Amino acid sequence: MVEAKDDERRDGDRAPITLRVDYKRLNTFFADYTKNISKGGTFIRTGRPLEVGTEFMFVLSLPAPKAESQPDEPRDTVQLELKGVVKWVVSESAATEEAPAGMGIQFVFEQDDKRLAVEAVVSKMMHDALGPHLAGKLLRGA
For residue 77, what pLDDT is reported?
A: 80
Mean pLDDT, range 2-22, rounded to an integer: 68
For residue 97, what pLDDT is reported?
A: 86
Which residue, among 102, 106, 105, 100, has the nearest Cα to 48 in the 3D structure? 102
Q: pLDDT band at 137, cuts 50/70/90?
A: low
**Amino acid, single-letter form, for residue 133:** H
**Rounded mean pLDDT of the chain?**
82
CA dihedral sign, ordered 72, 76, 82, 85 = positive
Is the pLDDT higher at 62 or at 133? 62
pLDDT of 58 strictly over 90: yes
- What contacts 24+ positions apart, CB below 8 Å, involve 65-71? 65/124, 66/128
Mean pLDDT, range 52-80, rounded to an integer: 78
pLDDT of 68 strictly over 90: no
Calpha distance 25→142 (Å, rounded): 38
Residue spans per domain, the chain: 6-64+74-140
CATH code of 6-64+74-140, in short, is: 2.40.10.220
